[in-house]
Amino acid sequence: MSRPTIADIAREAGVSKGAVSFALNGRPGVSEETRQRILQIAERMKWRPHSAARALGGARAGAVGLVLARPARTVGVEPFFAQLLSGLQAEFSVRSTALQLLVVEDTAAEIEVYRRWASEHRVDGFVLVDLQVRDPRIEVLEELGMPTVVLGGPGRHGRLPSVWADDREAMLSIVEYLAALGHRRIAHLAGLPAFQHTQRRIRALRDAARRLGLSEALSLPTDFSDAEGAAATRTLLARRERPTAIIYDNDVMAVAGLGVATEMGVAVPGELSIVSFDDSVLARIVHPPLTALSRDTFLLGEQVARALLAVIDDPAAAVDLKTPTPRLTVRESTAVPRD
């Protein structure tokens, strides 16, 4: 016989389907003795619930969605997402919730997927990342009424609960460290200007520069790619008065920038200090290893997952969780500027 159903178990145990359902879901309605007997039979028959049948009864779909809008071939270059994914998985799988992952080309397609998955009842909630300035996705998700957790910054994201890291403090800690070393001309290769965290970092740098009396603090927007990171670094290093330190918004650009410096004969850290806003193997394995901001992305993923499960359980739950502020791991790419 193929796949046993609760009806099979009921027949075997000589009870009704309802009783079996009660027993298997650990809810009152059957005696402890009967429950044990049913559980044993289910075990013996290797019964597993049919996820579709469960979902049909208006209950959970047992899955959550994560949709990324990026050019298909560029995903996975950044270790950040892989780490986040691992953390999400770790927590979701404990509560036997599956993760549906989809990579699409742009935000319009992403919204379309939210609509489709919601109306197909395929998922119970969403994780929203890469928060943009005036993000159109928030409105859609609120309208759909799907439990959603935003991985973003402080402040309101409509009525959606959020888990966030303090980008501002993180940037301040980097700038203060560089200023303490004696750097006065600092450049910042920022990410996509449309992202909220990019804006927060740019603002933090500007504020810190004013407060610490830096003579220069320039933020250049990029698309996070190694190509733009390299190009912008080349431009910066070709100037007459070049910066003595560059802060890169991700590890890929930082490594590319390091390559450019080496190629142009600019000594790191002698003539140029490099700091990466993301830590990963990448930052560790290059030479010299890069000073980088270490955040526990895996933990972040776990927290987001936990928050989402809480919201699914109780849609009224208001979550606004600040994760530990990342700390700077000093390696060999930063030093006192040579005058």
Chosen from a second copy, DNA, none, partner binding at 22 (C-beta under 5 to 8 Å by type): DNA
Part of the chain binding a second copy (CB under 8 A), chosen from 173-181, 183-191, 236-244, 254-262: 254-262
CB-based contact 205:171 (threshold 8 Å): yes
Alpha carbon distance 172, 202 (integer Å): 11
Alpha carbon distance 6, 12 (integer Å): 10
| 51 is a contact residue toward a second copy (CB under 8 A) | yes
Q: Using CB under 7 A, pick the residue from 5, 74, 107, 294 that binds DNA.
A: 5
Would you say 216 or 263 has its CB closer to a second copy?
263
* Residues 52-81 interacting with DNA (rule: CB under 7 A): 53-54, 56-59
Beta strands in 179-290, from DSSP E residues, in sequence order: 185-190, 216-221, 245-248, 273-276
Residue 204 neighbours by CB under 8 Å, 6+ apart: 167, 168, 169, 171, 172, 175
Supply 129's token pair.
């990342």
Q: Using CB under 8 A, pick the residue from 26, 48, 134, 241 that binds a second copy.
A: 48
CB-based contact 105:72 (threshold 8 Å): yes
Would you say 65 or 161 has its CB closer to a second copy?
65
Part of the chain binding a second copy (CB under 8 A), chosen from 129-137, 241-249, 278-286, 313-321: 278-286
| 227 is a contact residue toward DNA (CB under 7 A) | no
* Residues 171-230 interacting with a second copy (rule: CB under 8 A): 226, 230
Residue recorded with tokens 């560029």: 74
Chosen from a second copy, DNA, none, partner binding at 85 (C-beta under 5 to 8 Å by type): a second copy
* Residues 108-127 interacting with a second copy (rule: CB under 8 A): 116, 119-122
Q: End-to-end distance of the chain based on CA atoms, in angstroms?
A: 81
| 203 is a contact residue toward DNA (CB under 7 A) | no
Would you say 211 or 287 has its CB closer to a second copy?
287
CB-based contact 184:242 (threshold 8 Å): no
Q: How many CB atoms lie within 10 A of CB 292?
A: 28
Q: Using CB under 7 A, pick the residue from 12, 21, 99, 154 that binds DNA.
A: 21
CB-based contact 196:162 (threshold 8 Å): no
Contact residues for DNA, defined by CB under 7 A = 3, 5-7, 14-19, 21-22, 24-25, 28-34, 47-50, 53-54, 56-59
